[in-house]
A and B are shown apart, each in its own frame.
Chain A
Amino acid sequence: MTTLASISRRTGTRFVSSLPALLGVVVFTFILMRVLPGDPAVFFASGPNAGKAEIEEVRRLMGLDQPLLYQLALYLRDIATGNLGRSLTTGQPVLADIQQRLPASLELTFTALVLALTLALPLGIAAALNPGKLVDHAVRFACTLGVCVPTFVSGLLLIYAFYYLLGWAPDPTGRLDIFAQAPPRITGFLLIDSLIARDGTTGLAAASQLILPAATMALFVLAPLARMTRASMLAVLGSDFIRTADAMGLSRARVVGVYALRNAMLPVLTIAGIVFSTMLGANVLVEKVFSWPGVASYALDALLASDYAPVQGFVLLMASIFVVVNLTIDVLYGIADPRIGIE
């Protein structure tokens, strides 16, 4: 129908308008690589004891003796063909490394987001429906506290409590116990793969490894989500059309569930997009704490080892994920809010 057409048109324009941003990130990472200390040619030559001639040869092969703009064009061509360079630390092409490690990061992030949303929405709604009551104060207190604890501290304290003290959680390193057998790789998501392989033991093992890092990250984003839900729900409950619905004698369930909630979810949707990208950033910290073999820890290790191709690849990946997430949010928003086509 026309709504569908307007949503797709809007999504199309949004995609086109996000291309400059993507290009900007590419150019940024390119410049980043050029200003970083160290000579890329030395990295890509056979080793630190490579001869001067060999380095010069590598430099020529990599096009580093060409003008900067020409190099940029080469770089763009490389990206377009999926060539993100080679990592020094792993010796693998960056693209392959990222493909190998991305599911770990995504599995963690999605689990955390689902966890956070299932907790934050009911809490925020409950608080908004009982303003000034005990539940409201409790939620507000938890939210205030939640944004104050850095992920790396809460992660470590969770390890202390559930691994060291209680012994409930497994050794907090990696996605699977070293003795466990990984399921055949299909999606790369361990939970899904073990489900496909009907391997309950592995699934459980993977889940028990996942729960602490996911909880750490969920705790971090719980507060902004619950806060936004509460604020937006309160604002909607105080609006004129809710008074109208009450004046027309609609049932409480209908007023809250259909009239208030659907409207209140619109700003929450926007925040969820921002929260998702915050989580992508927070991944760096959480993956480090839990030795999680994801893309963020990969990029961090590379960064600390002055291995820049993976860092570039990582930033590019983040930018692409960010574009996809924003487009998804846009489409969802377009479906949820009929007013959007007007603007």
Chain B
Amino acid sequence: MTGEATINAAPLLEIENLDVTFATRAGPIDAVRGVSLAVARGEILGIVGESGSGKSVTALAIMRLLDRAGRITGGSIRFRGIDITKLGTTDLRNLRGAALAMIFQNPRSCLNPIRTVGDQIADTLRAHRPLSRSAAKARALDLLAGVLIREPEKRISAYPHELSGGMCQRVMMAMAMACEPDLLIADEPTTGLDVTTQKAVMDQLAALVRERGMAMMLITHDLGLAAQYCDRVAVMQQGLVVETAAPAVVFSAPSHPYTRRLVAASPTPTSTVASLSAEGTAESRAAHPHDINSGNPKGVIPGLVPGTHGAAAEVSAIVAPWVPAINAGMTPVELDQRGTLLVPLTPPPLMTVANLVMRYDRDITAVAGVSFDIGAGESVGLVGESGSGKSTIARIVCRLIDPTTGTIRFDGADIGAMPASTFHKATQRADIQIVFQDPGDSLNPRFSAFDSIADPLRRLKGLRDGMALRTRVLECATRCGLGPELIARFPHQLSGGQRARVGIARAIATQPKLLILDEPTAALDVSVQAIILQLLDRLRREQGMAYLFVSHDLNVIRMMCERTIVLKQGAIVEQGQSAVLFTAPTDPYTQGLIAAIPHFEPGSATPPSAGRRRLG
């Protein structure tokens, strides 16, 4: 299907003034409002935006796959000159999968669980081509080989549950490519995959699209991903396209205020906690590259910033400063020449974990002999891909579950010896608190924000209902940026960011010495994440808490933690000062992890990355 010169002049896909409305109980909601976009042949267009921006709805509207409640209420979608919004079901089915294909988020659930992947690819082929069963099977084998699946002969008769998430996404790609479509829509194709898998899948997807001269529409919330793989980027907010330009332009000189905020809030290899808010835009950061405390000037207590001598001086200046409140018993710590942390000399660390092992049943080892220290007021990051055991460690250290073996000393006591089932009675319970991932699941749906925050005070501080309790709860809430008007609300009446704040307020209510953060921002949009990270950073300074920060997001860890521990399959592969570890990782696994983070460089007009082809 070579494009005729006449058609070539017009874009492959042209969306004009598209409106999509969802019928809901509260009345119609306009999910997409007058969106106009165009995709040229061979072009990769990125659509970025946060949740609720209408980016996925736009994609589904192009495929006419909106669910019953959603309807296209205005505008046109012209694909190869034909208005898709006016097509009948038969024409639509002939178009889908053949000229227009789509791949989705969460590939494993997108494949039929009780049909072999080979059959599913063959189904797509036979829906559009007059192929015999065996011919379709043979073609499916080629396609699987084409998406670099090892041993395709074996995988072709595998069921989706027998394949990894990354492999399932490759199978989806093979299906989408089966009939050589002109346009591929990829809706968050790598969300939920590990960062190294994401890189492999995206590299391959981009290569296939380039190789076949197809056009692609990449829908993502990750600006880094869009910057790395797209020719042009459209930014959507609340159903509107606010800005469309080349990624270098959008990310270095965003013109729309929303884009500016979004770019600022997206963590990059150089961003700091303070620079995540819109005020700290590229220009202001360029002016004061090392002034990382611009957001919290009052928090700086220079006398206590450790290691301000020798080679480490520069390092510590880049690292978010380590400045707990004076009364928290802060101890100076020394850094050696390479910047690695030496054991704090005078008082022992707040927590010492030694030879932690966690085995389930017989076979599965979640944690395989992990040892580390956390100093008073120190922030330690725990990174790793899924299955690395990081969340298990967080729960063990928080004494919610018992390890198979290993010792945990906290503040001079052997808390590892106390069983988790009775740890709620231990005096240390109030000193170790935890903040959980999904803000939707971390709050009891039947507790108001007040009750959630009050619960640990009632249980651990023995406060009874009354003025004292009310004052404490309000104080914690205010400290976490929750107004008193929100305190009586139930979780479903709060936004994601507000719920995260309640979770944090609950955890700091007992004034713990160690706060464990288990992916506290993983489920949040970047702009909300930026605010929550700044809140967490400020609270640590104010309260002198130590953090054990668990995350899969290396940029977040780098910003939030002085020291980082990299985990792989339950074991530590590398640990050290964040500034050193992220700039000069020694272990190949860490190097691979860091290299796989998709990123853009704000403030510098980077040339398009390798492999990007100039448009003809």
Contacts and interface: CB of A to CB of B under 8 A. Distances in A.
A263 B114 contact: yes
A250 interface: yes
Contacts of B94: 249
Interface in B45-85: 63, 65, 67-68
B111 A342 contact: no
B516 interface: no
**Which one of A249, A251, A337 has the highest number of Cβ atoms from chain B below 10 Å of its Cβ?**
A249
Contacts of B101: 247-248
B93 interface: yes
Interface stretch (B120-128, B251-259, B466-474, B525-533): B120-128
B109 interface: yes
Interface string B81-121: 00000000100011111100110101001111111000000
A249 B110 contact: no
A38 B94 CA distance: 77
Contacts of A245: 112, 123
B565 interface: no
B110 A240 contact: yes
A293 to B, nearest CB: 43
Interface in B160-194: 161, 172, 175-176, 178
B128 A339 contact: no
Contact of A251 (B65, B95, B127, B159): B127
A341 B128 CA distance: 34
A240 B113 CA distance: 11
A262 B114 contact: yes
Contact of B113 (A131, A249, A250, A339): A339
B349 to A, nearest CB: 43
**Which one of A245, A258, A262, A336 has the highest number of Cβ atoms from chain B below 10 Å of its Cβ?**
A245
A247 to B, nearest CB: 4
B175 A248 contact: yes
Chain A interface bracket (under 10, 10 to 19, 20 to 34, 35 or more): 20 to 34
B193 to A, nearest CB: 16
B124 A249 contact: yes
Contacts of A336: 114
Contact of B110 (A244, A263, A266): A244
Nearest to B63: A247
B98 A240 contact: no
A243 B68 CA distance: 13
Nearest to A243: B65
A250 B110 contact: no
**Which one of A240, A246, A247 has the highest number of Cβ atoms from chain B below 10 Å of its Cβ?**
A247
B117 to A, nearest CB: 12
A266 to B, nearest CB: 8
**Which one of A243, A252, A262 has the highest number of Cβ atoms from chain B below 10 Å of its Cβ?**
A243
Interface in A110-167: 131
Contacts of A254: 123, 127
A338 to B, nearest CB: 5
Contacts of A44: none
B94 to A, nearest CB: 7
A259 interface: yes
A240 to B, nearest CB: 4
Given A240-B104, A338-B159, A339-B161, A250 B112 contact: no
Interface in A329-343: 336-339, 342
Contacts of A250: 93, 97, 123-124, 127
B95 A249 contact: yes
A308 B115 CA distance: 52
Interface string B315-343: 00000000000000000000000000000
B259 to A, nearest CB: 30
A239 B110 CA distance: 8
A28 interface: no
A241 interface: yes
Given A249-B96, A249-B97, A241 B109 contact: yes
A163 to B, nearest CB: 47
Nearest to A336: B114
B172 A244 contact: yes
Contacts of A337: 113-114
Contacts of B95: 249
Interface of B: 63, 65, 67-68, 89, 93-98, 101-102, 104, 106, 109-115, 123-124, 127-128, 159, 161, 172, 175-176, 178
12 contacts: A241-B110, A241-B111, A241-B113, A244-B104, A244-B175, A248-B97, A248-B124, A249-B96, A249-B128, A254-B127, A258-B115, A262-B115
Interface of A: 131, 238-241, 243-252, 254, 258-259, 262-263, 266, 336-339, 342
